[in-house]
Chain A
Amino acid sequence: MIEKDGVPSLNQVKAEFPTLETLEKPKAIIECYKRIPCNPCETSCPFDAITVGEDINDRPRIDFDKCTGCGICVYNCPGLAITVSQIKGEEVHLKIPYEFTPLPEKGKRVNVMNRSGEVITQGTVTKVQAGKKQNKTALIHLSIPKEYVYEAITIEVSHGS
């Protein structure tokens, strides 16, 4: 239970996803399960796809029609609670925030973790965005098997060799 161990239930996770059909285009998945005073997801979105509203404690709501999956909210979210997901054939393309060093390199095989911190599969790093805009919250693009669409959330931290 998320209030006890930090792990959301599968139902909680699924409720933040659009239909798998919609997910053929990249979409932001916002996992902000509890009301907190925060709204950079709303103010950083260039497409007005995310709404927190007048009361900054309200949970963000996303309009999947407007979301382009650009990933800007991913590195602007102070809680690192947003990822971008897209289904492409037999794979899921994932964009995750990453704040560890060294950054994984493009093409590298990495261990993929679930929300309980267990390694569930391997994935390939397809792109690393770590420029001025990301301001030290790198955006890592991953390709992983499609079946882990609701499970994969981050990659195992590797502190060098």
Chain B
Amino acid sequence: MQNKEAIVIGGGPAGLTAAFELLQAGASVCLIDRNERLGGQLTKQTHMFFGSEKQYASHRGIDILEILTNALGKYGNKLEILTQTTVVGMYRDKVLACVKGDKFFKLKGEKIVFATGASEKALPFENNDLPGVYAAGAVQTLMNEYGIKPGEKVLMVGSGNIGLIVSYQLMQAGVEVVGLVEAADRIGGYLVHASKIKRLGVDILTKTSVKRAIGKESVEAAEIWDLDEQWQGIEGTERTLEVDTICVAVGLAPLTELLQQMGVKVQYVREFGGNVPVLDENYQTSVEGVYACGDLVNIEEASSAMVEGRIAGINAARSLGYDVENADFRIKALHHELKDLRGGPPGDKVRKGLKKLGVAT
């Protein structure tokens, strides 16, 4: 078993900034990701980010990934990157069981930062397991990372930012978006994203959902129907759309399994789609020396995940005994950035969720 000073699990926006802050403070970092490439969801974000300059607003996600990975570059020998490595077990004494290819090995970290992100939820409807019913983020990966169209005609389910953005990106890839359905009575994501697809001819249907997928070996059509005040489908309102792909964008669930294996205290928060770790103001979990950040701790935009990663990274470095320059000032400023990002109506849900966790916002 190898001992490591700091281990960061997950190389997405939160993990990358956490690793950077640890390295900048002088710590050695082992960064683990199960994918071949670092970046997490940034690898496929072809759109410009919101927020302010501090979170690289107006830059595309794929370009932000380059900025973040370049920033890690100068720490060469202090940074060990283990890609295609899956952490399959977590023990209370901060021992990780890892699998890379056909190799199994254990690592022990003095401090551990979890940035494992979230996974997309499924939606119950008839034939929702047919090939062609894909999570929207998965379709984004297929298109923007591998350059492959998911199909030719798509029905999008869900009007949060992911549903709206992926609809637009499907059109950019030359795929027809036949329509977007939303169960709620209003659009969930930013209206600028909604207007952007509507003016290009994509109809957004609120109080509408998918009743079933139709097809034998894969999706051949989708049946949609109107929903009543109790969110139930209304018989007689069904209509069939000829599509070969149904994209499901109905939210995310934090990936807390590893944290729970090591006995970290979690709490169910509906706003964040599942169990999330209970944190102190330093983004430290209930286990001393174990930190968490990003979508794992609350479902938000990648802009916030990057800020949280920095806070967790600085705090982890400090707890290792490193003297972080202007640490108090920087952490205060980073908390202020989060407050800004969560301050408006899109942040309502996040603030509500954080309140349940007892976090001041």
Contacts and interface: CB of A to CB of B under 8 A. Distances in A.
Interface of A: 2-8, 31-40, 43-44, 55-57, 76-81, 99-101, 113-118, 135-137, 153-154, 156-157, 159
Contact of A7 (B185, B198, B342): B198
Contacts of B200: 113, 117, 154, 156-157
Nearest to A79: B192
A37 B51 contact: yes
Contacts of A8: 195
Chain B contact residues, majority secondary structure? mixed
Interface of B: 47-53, 57-58, 60, 171-172, 174, 185-187, 190-204, 206, 303, 340-347
Contacts of A80: 192, 196
B199 A113 contact: yes
A5 B192 CA distance: 11
Contacts of B206: 4-5
Interface centre among B60, B196, B206, B341 (most CB of A within 10 A): B196
Nearest to A31: B195
B324 to A, nearest CB: 26
B191 A39 contact: no
Contacts of A100: 171-172
A76 B344 CA distance: 21
A43 B51 CA distance: 11
B353 to A, nearest CB: 17
Contacts of B347: 37, 57
A78 B172 contact: no
A4 B206 CA distance: 6
8 contacts: A34-B345, A37-B303, A43-B58, A57-B340, A76-B48, A78-B48, A78-B58, A156-B201
A153 B187 contact: no
B57 A32 contact: no
Contacts of B185: 4
A38 B342 CA distance: 11
A79 B107 CA distance: 44
Contacts of A2: 191, 194-195
In the complex, the 5 A-B pairs of residues with the closest C-beta atoms, listed nearest first: A79-B192, A57-B344, A6-B194, A6-B198, A117-B201
Given A35-B345, A37-B341, A100-B171, A115 B195 contact: yes
B50 A37 contact: yes
Contacts of B60: 135-136
A118 B50 CA distance: 28
A5 B343 contact: no
B50 A79 contact: yes
A43 B52 CA distance: 9
Given A7-B198, A43-B52, A37 B204 contact: no
B186 A4 contact: yes
Contacts of A7: 195, 198
A55 B347 CA distance: 13
Given A3-B186, A6-B195, A36-B192, A76 B345 contact: no
B58 A79 contact: no
Contacts of B343: 37, 55-57
Contact of B171 (A40, A81, A157): A157
Contact of B190 (A34, A40, A115): A34
Given A37-B346, A117-B200, A99 B172 contact: yes
A114 B199 contact: yes
A39 B52 contact: yes
A100 B51 CA distance: 24
B201 A79 contact: no
Nearest to A82: B192
B195 A4 contact: no
Contact of B198 (A5, A32, A36): A5
B57 A78 contact: yes
Contacts of A31: 192, 195
A4 B303 CA distance: 26
Nearest to B197: A6
A79 B190 CA distance: 8
A99 B193 CA distance: 14
Contact of B204 (A6, A34, A40, A113): A6
A79 B48 CA distance: 8
Interface centre among A6, A43, A57, A100 (most CB of B within 10 A): A6
B340 A36 contact: no
B199 A154 contact: yes
A36 B347 CA distance: 9
Contacts of B48: 40, 76-78, 137
A69 to B, nearest CB: 19
